[in-house]
Amino acid sequence: MKVLQPDWPMYLAGAYNDIIPGTAQTAMYIVGGVEIAAALIVLVIPRFGSLLVAGWLGGIVASLIIVGGYGDIVLRDLALLVVALAVSRLAWVQPTVRGDHDHTKSIGGGVAATNGSAAIQTPNGAADRDRVGHRVAG
Domain of 114 in residue numbering reads as 101-138
49 lies in the same domain as 109: no
What pLDDT is attached to residue 72?
93
Tell me the pLDDT tens digit for each residue of 23-74: 888 888 888 899 999 999 999 999 999 999 999 999 999 989 998 898 999 9
59 lies in the same domain as 117: no
106 lies in the same domain as 74: no
86, amino acid identity: A
Report the distance separating Cα 117 and Cα 17, nearest Å: 62
130 lies in the same domain as 105: yes
Tell me the pLDDT tens digit for each residue of 100-117: 555 445 555 544 445 554
